[in-house]
Amino acid sequence: MKEKVVLAYSGGLDTSCCIKMLKENHKMDVITVAVDVGQNEDFEKIRERALNLGTEKAYIIDKKDEFVKEYIVPSIISNSLYEDNYPLFSALSRPLIAKTVVEIAKKENAQAVAHGCTGKGNDQIRFDLSFKILAPELKIIAPIREYSLSRPALIDYAKEASIPIPVTKGKPYSIDENLWGRSIEGGILENAEREVPEDVYELTRPLNPVSDSLDYIEIYFKKGIPEKINDMKMPLLEIIKYVNKIAGAHGFGRIDHIESRVMGIKSREVYEAPAALTLIYAHKSLEYMTLPKDLLFIKKFLEEYFSRLIYSGLWFSPMCSAIRAFMEKTQEHVTGKVKVKFDGGRMEICGRESPFSLYRKDVATYENFEEFDPRYPEGFIKFMGMDITLYSALEKEVKNELIS
């Protein structure tokens, strides 16, 4: 009896070629798992393609709700942006896809799991580490990495094997998308000096002509989680779709970024993430109003570290789990409303309010001193600067002694 392997399947070039390689080179029965995390795909066609390529079973599993509740929510409350730019949508989806593949592998009594990642990218690390943490007993197979196949070589292989592919050598973009954003890489985009062609974008309109009207939306957060837009309460999944449409119509959400991959390779990455950037920026603005400064300081440090852990494929690590618990605890008072304006590729925070606001106009105002005694700072400044004042005086004294 042949061994079984469960393949994380997207329906694209890489994973379609993997089906053939696993069957013919590894002599294994292949079961595919396509996970719906909000990508704009025809999943019945993906199932049909997998079966036509010789898979034993082709699972299509809807994980959009779990993706939103268990992955996107922690990303929002932690303001997760890798290198202050990338909203981590691909990196967030990989642990969930890996978890789903492992679930099917156990259900089907498979001996191995597989993915279609290359030896240069980040996703191989995310899949491998997730598989190793969740199911160390399963063998991991990565055919594209194993055979060191470049993209042109993979296209040639697909043509020889009569595998239908959606790209050509003339325009070989690699595209990944889900509810939280869309990435485009490869081909002419690898020329870092060249402007990104307009045809790579789908979620955002061209920046020119500039929109002739403004759009304002009000985003209501409850304990850090968006729950209403303009007084319309809706599931977070629908909020993301709504904000994507509004922000994208104004050209907001484009990112052209030179990124540091996990292994140190610099890579040009082009992203579209209108909703992700809008919600994270709005959430961060509300936190500045409701969280004490020491908590903001520590949280910002952990946000950067948390983003790096997610990016590096360590979602299921103990550290990542502990930081998620910390982030959730910080959100107890992050409730309120943030007003956002869109205009010609820009998004601005133009108002915020909260029942837990630490901002008080009567304290902050320069108009009067009714709630603030201006004599207080003198003593505060003396205590605050005591050590550096003593240090400076001692330094001058020692220098004078040495000179004399």
Q: Which of 14, 29, 128, 176 is catalytic?
A: 14
Active site residue 84: no
Q: Which of 36, 145, 151, 174 is catalytic?
A: 174
| Cα 67 from chain centroid (whole Å) | 12
**Residue 130 to residue 109: CA distance in whole angstroms:** 19
The catalytic residue among 29, 123, 128, 176 is 123
Strand arrangement of the beta sheet that strand 57-62 belongs to = 57-62, 29-36, 4-8, 112-114, 139-141
User: Cβ distance 196 to 256 under 8 Å?
Assistant: yes
DSSP H or E stretch at residue 176 = strand 174-178
Name beta bridge partners: 342: 215, 347
Residue with tokens 């929510």: 73
Known catalytic residue at 36: no
Q: In what order do the strands lie in the sheet with 266-272?
A: 174-178, 181-185, 266-272, 254-260
Residue 184: its H or E element: strand 181-185
- Residue 343 a catalytic site member: no
Q: What single-letter amino acid sits at 385?
A: G
5 near 111, Cβ under 8 Å?
yes
Strands, DSSP E only, in 22-104? Answer: 29-36, 57-62
> Do the strands 174-178 and 181-185 form a parallel or antiparallel pair, or are they unpaired?
antiparallel
321 is catalytic: no
The catalytic residue among 47, 49, 94, 126 is 94
Structure tokens at 32: 């595919």
Catalytic positions, please?
Answer: 14, 94, 123, 174
